[in-house]
């Protein structure tokens, strides 16, 4: 594997976690101080991430945001102007996370009926048009499979240096990410599986004549003074307790449009615990949905596993605490990650 590049530590910013007012958003921003970047998520019935991200950026001049953004909702030239304006007005503190959707129902709510692989082909064209809008110095036109634009003028908000993040475990996702992404985001899996994924991404990127993207790994962290205390906290999660009450059976449902979710469930079916301290209990409880794979134990134990992922080529960790959100009590662990990893 390639030698690790400089470490970044992300988490989530849920701007309305404490409520919908400006003061509530500002409180959420204050709680994520010190992280390298925070992800503002996307779903069809949630608040708008670009609006909330812009609001959050005005509250803290140290905040760096990662805006989840779904192709197919707005035209790429429009999105390019929005993101470039955010980035340049904030001094370059914006990246974009291109999401293509694994739950068809949420696509349908926004009028998007493209099939899974078509969405990744569209994303490839979409990202190409974002970058052309950001960097062009002469007027340009384009007619492709999904988009047609004419006489696009060089943008006043020029060359904002926005990095493109993405995730996905299907072959279509691998092709898109290897060809276009600056950062490829993975769910937490056992060490061997993560190593195989990174190798596949690196080989695919090489086929496009590119170095591999940065690799991000998403994990929940349950850290305590003793292993027993950490496990007690992890297993007290309400979703896991409900799962136990229903008999602790891991679903055998296949999600045709979400290969990453299927991989998570396959690991959970193979066992709740893997390697030294990887726990898939909440993955099973949530039926494979979202960032739920967890490292559980003392800080020393968790750090050893993080170091092992780092040696495989992980460049960025997106970490969360209980409930899948950022918890300020993880700040000392993040500082140790920066010192030692």
In this prediction, residue 121 carries a pLDDT of 96
Q: What does the block give as tokens for 183?
A: 């950062």
In this prediction, residue 196 carries a pLDDT of 98
If phi over 0 gives left and psi between -120 and 50 gives alpha, with beta otherwise, what is residue 246? alpha
Angle, in degrees to the nearest 10, between helices 171-180 and 116-135? 10
In this prediction, residue 61 carries a pLDDT of 94
In this prediction, residue 44 carries a pLDDT of 87
Alpha-carbon distance of 187 to 218, in angstroms, equals 5
In this prediction, residue 223 carries a pLDDT of 98
Burial (Cβ within 10 Å: 0-12, 13-18, ≥19) of residue 123: buried
Report domain 8-340's class. alpha beta
Beta bridge partners of 69: 98
Alpha-carbon distance of 197 to 133, in angstroms, equals 32
The domains of the chain are located at: 8-340
Of 132, 59, 52, 49, the C-alpha closest to 96 is 49
Query: 213 Cβ partners below 8 Å, 6+ apart?
Result: 177, 178, 181, 182, 183, 184, 201, 205
Chain centroid to CA 151: how far? Answer: 34
Of 19, 17, 23, the C-alpha closest to 38 is 17
Alpha-carbon distance of 61 to 93, in angstroms, equals 9
Alpha-carbon distance of 337 to 341, in angstroms, equals 5
Alpha-carbon distance of 100 to 69, in angstroms, equals 9
**For 307-323, how does the pLDDT look when each residue is reduced to its tens digit (9 = 90+)?**
999 999 999 999 999 99
Query: 158 Cβ partners below 8 Å, 6+ apart?
Result: 84, 134, 135
Give mean pLDDT in consecutive 10-residue pieces for the chain, a chain of 341 residues. Answer: 79 90 94 95 90 95 96 95 96 96 81 91 97 96 97 90 96 96 98 98 98 98 98 96 94 84 94 97 93 97 98 97 94 96 96
pTM, to two decimals:
0.95
In this prediction, residue 4 carries a pLDDT of 66
């Amino acid at each position: 594997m390639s030698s690790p590049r400089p470490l970044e530590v992300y988490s989530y910013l849920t701007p309305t976690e404490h409520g919908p007012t400006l003061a509530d958003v500002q409180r959420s921003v204050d709680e994520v101080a010190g992280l390298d970047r925070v992800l503002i998520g996307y779903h069809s019935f949630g608040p708008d991430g670009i609006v909330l991200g812009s609001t959050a950026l005005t509250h803290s001049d140290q905040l760096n945001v990662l805006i989840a953004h779904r192709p197919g909702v707005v035209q790429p030239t429009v999105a390019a102007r929005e993101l470039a304006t955010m980035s340049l007005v904030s001094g370059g503190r914006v990246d974009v996370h291109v999401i293509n959707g694994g739950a068809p129902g949420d696509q349908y709510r926004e009028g998007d009926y493209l099939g899974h692989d078509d969405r990744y082909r569209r994303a490839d064209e979409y990202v190409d048009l974002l970058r052309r809008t950001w960097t062009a110095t002469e007027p340009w036109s384009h007619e492709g499979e999904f988009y047609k634009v004419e006489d696009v003028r060089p943008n006043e908000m020029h060359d904002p240096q926005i990095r493109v993040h993405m995730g996905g475990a299907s072959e279509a996702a691998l092709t898109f990410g290897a060809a276009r992404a600056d950062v490829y985001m993975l769910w937490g899996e056992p060490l061997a599986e993560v190593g195989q994924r990174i190798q596949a991404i690196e080989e695919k990127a090489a086929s496009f004549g590119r170095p591999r993207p940065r690799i991000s790994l998403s994990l929940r962290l349950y850290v305590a003074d003793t292993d027993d205390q950490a496990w007690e906290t992890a297993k007290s999660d309400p979703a896991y307790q409900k799962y136990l009450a229903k008999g602790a059976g891991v679903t055998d449902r296949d999600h045709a449009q979400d290969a990453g979710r299927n991989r998570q469930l396959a690991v959970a079916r193979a066992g709740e615990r893997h390697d030294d301290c990887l726990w898939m209990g909440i993955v099973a409880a949530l039926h494979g949905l979202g960032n739920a794979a967890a490292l559980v134990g003392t800080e020393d134990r968790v750090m050893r596993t993080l170091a092992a992922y780092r040696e495989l080529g992980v460049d960025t960790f997106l970490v969360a605490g209980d409930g899948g959100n950022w918890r300020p009590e993880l700040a000392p662990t993040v500082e140790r990650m920066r010192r030692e990893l």
